[in-house]
Amino acid sequence: MTAYAYILECADGTLYSGWTNDLGKRVAAHNAGQGAKYTRGRRPVTLRYYEAFEDKIGAMRRESALKRLSRAEKRALIESGAVVDNGKQNNYNV
């Protein structure tokens, strides 16, 4: 099962990090107000960065690491334009 760690940009310019096993569905849930409590009042959200992993443990570890990054470090990841797929193929556009 492929799992993803991701960074969203909220409408107010803040950044949110999370993990999921269905990236498209999770971003849609955030935008429908059914995602994290943090993003409910900050819609719409936009997917800015993600990494794919072979299992949820890898995605959860990366999410934890993303949450510890400073805003500047998260922005640097986003602005690099790099999407790390860790060997997985995907069709998501950031």
Query: Nearest CA to 51 among 63, 37, 34?
Result: 63
Query: Could you state, in order of their start, the residue ranges of all structural domains in the chain?
Result: 3-80
By the 8 A CB rule, do 25 and 73 touch? no
pLDDT, average across residues 31-52 = 96
Q: Which amino acid is at 44?
A: P
What pLDDT digit, counting tens, does each position of 62-91 carry?
999 999 999 999 999 999 876 655 544 444
The overall average pLDDT reported for the chain is 90
Class level of CATH domain 3-80 = alpha beta
Q: What is the pLDDT of residue 90?
A: 44
